[in-house]
Structure 1
Amino acid sequence: MTDPVMRLKDLTLSLDGNAGMVEILKGISFDVMQGETLGLTGASGSGKSSLLMVMGGLERASSGLISALGHDLTPMGEDALARFRRDNMGVVFQSFHLIPTMTALENVALPLELAGEADAFGRAATELEAVGLGDRGNHYPSQMSGGEQQRVALARAVVGRPKILLADEPTGNLDAATGELVMDLLFDLRDRTGATLILVTHASELAARCDRVIQLRDGLVLSDNVAVAAQ
């Protein structure tokens, strides 16, 4: 049997709020397999985005274990987590997170430059072409629409050929038509790169495109099912 790409065991997350410590995740356990597309759903405040942050090493769990690609992330320091994420993961956020003083081409090339890749800008140009922005490489984020910025963010997320692709409500700030375009691109990029995709979404039509859907409620797994479209 293939080993899981990610394994979560009894993960908890507590954060300090105005009224004291708040339990965000209350003991999450599941495996994610190679090539799987996993949707994380649930109402606002259910813990799905926090869970994705923990899975990406962007938030440290309060307790429990998490491994990715056979590596235990639990004891890693911030620098080690950053290197692991750079080498193995791509992340797409709802709010794009592009660097405003860099062009689209520079934003996409940045992860490769940080990794010391020689052909960073050539590969970045190829990825911009793949998301339909080959002619926008010299434009800054402020000169681009929200949909274009998110397409740049997609190109940046996959330029390093990550084994794991994490997406947190990637269409949340887009209109319906642009959001559909971005999601089509995201799934196309997943198919092209062979990455395992973990997608946080509140949209049932997006969840139905996933192989499997885990629904969260109050920091717990409410259900874990194969999506109807994948059956």
Structure 2
Amino acid sequence: MSSPVLSLQDASLSLQGNAGPVRILDAISLDVHRQETVGLIGPSGSGKSSLLMLMGGLEQATGGKVTALGHDLTTMTEDQLARLRRDHFGVVFQSFHLIPTMTALENVATPLELAGEPDAFTRAEEELKTVGLESRMNHYPSQLSGGEQQRVALARAAAPRPDILLADEPTGNLDSVNGSAIIDLLFGLRERHNATLILVTHAPELAHRCDRVITLTDGRLSKTEAAA
């Protein structure tokens, strides 16, 4: 089997609380391979989102080692991590994180422009068409529904053609119909770009669309299983 695109070796995360350090993740060891889809499930507070943040270099491990695409994230500076995310990661959050003063097209084109892509707006248009928003490109986030805003966020994450897609509860703020559509689009974008996908969700039925399902309990891996 090829080398993993993501690897955690006894990775831990502690944050400072009012009463002292709080252990969020405890000795996580995990490999994720190219084009694999992985669902992360577990109760609230189990560390799912924190684990996703470690994988993307959005949080730095306080113990152990995290490697992504051959880079040791635990030794990189913030600038180096930002460049790695820009060039190789797509991240989708529950709360969209769109820039309110920019149109849908501008929101999707911005990361491409920051990466110096000469065809940023052409590629942004293509991605918005892929998620069914060709008639909403010039609308601002406040003019879009929640489902439409998440479609823009998906297009923005996919536009740089990332090696790794990280999705943190992407359907958490949506009704069941919009949520189902977003998941279909997310898996479609993953397949289109041959990306690795790690999906955090409270819904076991969504996680089981992945190749592998990993359960976290109290900051530790408690179960790993191939999806049915």
Q: TM-score range by the shorter chain?
A: over 0.9
| Matched length | 228
Q: What is the TM-score of this pair, normalised by structure 2?
A: 0.99
Match of 1:57 in 2: 57
- Map 1:37-186 → 2, pairs under 5 A: 37-186=37-186
Q: For the residues of structure 1 that align with 2:75 and 2:3, how far apart are their CA atoms? A: 21
Q: For the residues of structure 1 that align with 2:142 and 2:19, how far apart are their CA atoms? A: 38
Q: What's the offset of the Cα at 1:70?
A: 1.2
Q: What's the offset of the Cα at 1:18?
A: 2.7
Q: What's the offset of the Cα at 1:19?
A: 2.5
Q: What's the offset of the Cα at 1:92?
A: 0.1
2:9–2:27 CA contact under 8 A, matched in 1: yes
Q: For the residues of structure 1 that align with 2:17 and 2:101, how far apart are their CA atoms? A: 33
Q: Which 4+ stretches in 1 moved above 6 angstroms?
A: none
Q: For the residues of structure 1 that align with 2:218 and 2:26, how far apart are their CA atoms? A: 8
CA RMSD of aligned residues (A): 0.6
Q: What is the TM-score of this pair, normalised by structure 1?
A: 0.98
Q: For the residues of structure 1 that align with 2:70 and 2:78, how far apart are their CA atoms? A: 18
Q: What's the offset of the Cα at 1:69?
A: 1.0
SS in 2 for 1:162: coil
2:60–2:73 CA contact under 8 A, matched in 1: no
Q: What's the offset of the Cα at 1:204?
A: 1.0
Match of 2:18 in 1: 18
Match of 1:29 in 2: 29
Q: For the residues of structure 2 that align with 1:172 and 1:13, how far apart are their CA atoms? A: 24
Q: What's the offset of the Cα at 1:107?
A: 0.3
Q: What's the offset of the Cα at 1:63?
A: 1.0
Q: Supply the AA of the counterpart residue of 1:128.
A: L
Q: Percent identity?
A: 69
SS in 2 for 1:135: coil
Q: What's the offset of the Cα at 1:36?
A: 0.3
